[in-house]
Homo-oligomer: A and B are copies of this chain.
Amino acid sequence: MPTSTSVLAIENKMISENGVQQVELLNGVEDLYGGIIIDIEEAMESEAFTFSLSASVLQWKQQGKRAVWIKLHIQLVNLVEPSVKEGFRYHHAEPDYLMLVNWISDSTSTIPENASHRVGIGAFIVNEKREVLVVQENNGKFKGKGVWKFPTGVVNEGEDISIAAIREVKEETGIDTEFVEVLAFRQSHRSYFTKSDLFFVCMLRPLTFYIQKQDTEIKAAQWMPFNEYAAQPFVQKHDAFSSVADVCLTKLETEYVGFSPVPRTTASGKTSHLYLSRRDLNNLAPEHGQSEFPG
Contacts and interface: CB of A to CB of B under 8 A. Distances in A.
Interface of A: 32-34, 74, 77-78, 80-81, 84-85, 89-99, 107-108, 110, 112-119, 139-142, 154-161, 183-190, 192-196, 198, 216-217, 234, 236, 238-247, 249-250, 253-259, 262, 264-268, 270, 272-277, 280-281, 283-285, 288-291
Contact of A288 (B108, B183, B249): B249
Nearest to A244: B274
Given A193-B92, A243-B262, A255-B283, A118 B115 contact: yes
Given A95-B90, A264-B243, A267-B241, A190 B272 contact: no
Given A80-B77, A99-B193, A193-B99, A187 B161 contact: yes
Copies in the complex: 2
A194 B99 CA distance: 12
B158 A243 contact: no
Nearest to A263: B239
Contacts of A154: 112-113, 116
Contacts of A118: 112-117
B266 A157 contact: no
A272 B157 contact: no
Given A188-B273, A240-B267, A256-B280, 7 more contacts: A92-B93, A93-B114, A112-B192, A117-B155, A158-B196, A160-B187, A247-B276
Nearest to A272: B188
A203 to B, nearest CB: 13
A157 B116 contact: yes
A161 B116 CA distance: 12
Given A80-B81, A276-B184, A240 B253 contact: no
A265 B242 CA distance: 10
A265 B284 contact: no
27 contacts: A77-B80, A80-B80, A90-B97, A92-B93, A93-B99, A93-B114, A98-B98, A113-B154, A115-B115, A115-B116, A115-B192, A117-B119, A157-B189, A158-B194, A184-B259, A184-B277, A186-B266, A188-B272, A236-B290, A239-B264, A239-B290, A243-B274, A246-B288, A246-B291, A254-B280, A254-B284, A257-B257
